[in-house]
Amino acid sequence: MNNNGISKLNLKRINRSEILKIIIKNGPTSRIEIAKRINLTRAAITIITNEMIQEGMIYEKGEERGNEKNGRGRRKILLDINANYKFCFGIVFDNQKVSIGLSNLKGETLDKASLNIGAKSIEEIIEEIYNCFHEMLRNSSLQISNIIGIGVCVSNDCFYLLNGKDKKSSMQLLKKMLERRMNISVVVNNTTEGLAIAEMTFNKDYKEKTSNMVFLRYGYEIDAVMVLHDKIYHRPSSDSNWFSHIVVDTKGDYCECGKKGCCRTKMSINIIKQKVIDLYKEGKTPILYENTNGDISKIDFTVENLKLLLSDISVKHLYEEALEYLTYALDNLITVIAPEKIVLFDFVFEKILDLESLITIMKREHNISFKDKIKLSTIPMNNIYLAGNGLCVDKLFIEVGGE
């Protein structure tokens, strides 16, 4: 038995993985810079990267801009990941739909589709995914051998489909079922983590890539992920949605978790809807009342109608109040972990009150100016499948050194 550390093959994988991570995080990088960052000699890096170039996973992108020269007076050649070296599938179960996308290693979409879940069983859905998968391969003239695998993400509202005893076992079950049917590697995670990974992997604005980030989903669902030192921080009890149970009002109503005034009781979209309905009953919403002819069942809460909803000052106030509570939770996170970025996905207020309102409230309530910190996610809601593609590229390409 050889216990003298890591085998040669593993070492090669680890080195390759480190190189890929550096390029993903910083964009095209020179060999000398890579050597500096992972503390290997330039000669070693040259051997490893030349092999990776031969295999096609990275390529020489050209010379670094500017006049900076290396020791021998030559310009540095930048190495980048070959986006079309391999491809992957992303599948996301979210809000009663399954979104499927085929992308390259940089998250550029080749094909996408969406299936309704309705009353279908998981077996029926997997059959539809199977057909979709092969149709997309044919349309793109790709073979199974061009695909590194499938990244699958499941949102909280879809776990019921899987019948596992908890989320973790449900995800393992789904992985097994898909691997058996599709005959390809599958990785599964929850959607918010997948989205955060995709944000870190596919964002091409390398200046925006940070080591510490809070990734917040605030749409029909509230959930968040903390990224600390480039890694997702996992709490020991991973099942609970920690962000929605941050207390923002000590005098608030009881939450299902037993505490008072958690985020979800103060700012979830369903709570706001209920408050609008309560207001309506009291006749404090003249514009909304007129537009629905006094019929409460006609209130349209879809995003397209939000602007109209906000025409009544009383309703607008409810939304602003929710944003105010959001700033309390964010203030606490900023104080504790000092993230360099706070990224918002599916930010429902973006369509009605915009990011500026949030920045203004943060300044007013907490005297914190976080204009440079807060960003909207680069992943649009209708490309949510990229959460799966990001997960797949991270786990089945970068982590394993491109194998």
Residues binding Zn ion (CB under 5 A)? 245, 255, 257, 259, 262
In this structure, the number of other CB atoms found within 10 A of the CB of residue 355 comes to 15
Task: Name the minimum Å distance from CB 257 to Zn ion.
Answer: 3
In the bound state with Zn ion, the residue whose beta carbon lies nearer, of 329 and 343, is 329
Name the residue among 161, 155, 164 with its Cα closest to residue 219. 155
Could you give the CA distance from residue 325 to residue 348 in angstroms, rounded to a whole number? 15
Question: Do 83 and 104 touch, CB atoms closer than 8 A?
Answer: yes
**Distance in Å, CB of 240 to Zn ion, minimum:** 9
* Nearest to Zn ion of 190, 265 (CB atom): 265
Short-list 79, 73, 106, CA closest to 90: 106
Specify whether the CB–CB gap between 154 and 191 falls below 8 A.
yes
**Residue closer to Zn ion, measured from CB, 150 or 263:** 263
CB-based contacts of 154: which residues, under 8 Å, 6+ apart?
92, 93, 162, 167, 170, 171, 174, 188, 189, 190, 191
Of 82 and 192, the one with the shorter C-beta distance to Zn ion is 192
Least separation in angstroms between CB 275 and Zn ion: 18
Paired tokens of 376 = 């909207």
Pairwise CA distance, residues 273 & 295, whole Å: 15
**78 contacts 62 by C-beta, under 8 angstroms:** yes
Question: What is the closest distance, in whole angstroms, from the C-beta atom of residue 262 to Zn ion in the complex?
Answer: 3
Min CB(248)–Zn ion separation in Å: 10
Q: For Zn ion, give the closer residue by CB, 266 or 395.
A: 266
CA 297 to chain centre: 35
DSSP code, position 398:
I
DSSP per position, 118-181 = TT--HHHHHHHHHHHHHHHHHHTT--GGGEEEEEEEE-GGGGGGG--SSHHHHHHHHHHHHHHH
Q: Taking the complex as a whole, how short is the minimal distance between the CB of residue 252 and Zn ion, in angstroms?
A: 10
Burial class (CB in 10 A: 0-12, 13-18, 19+), 402: buried
Closer residue to Zn ion (CB): 157 or 179: 157
Looking at residue 37, its amino acid is: R
User: In the complex, what is the shortest distance from the CB of residue 218 to Zn ion, in angstroms, rounded to a whole number?
Assistant: 16
Indicate the residue among 88 and 326 with the shorter CB distance to Zn ion.
326
- Name the minimum Å distance from CB 243 to Zn ion: 10
Q: Which CB, 239 or 356, lies closer to Zn ion?
A: 239
- In the bound state with Zn ion, the residue whose beta carbon lies nearer, of 31 and 245, is 245
CB of 242: closest distance to Zn ion in angstroms? 10
Do residues 157 and 106 make contact, with C-beta atoms less than 8 angstroms apart?
A: no
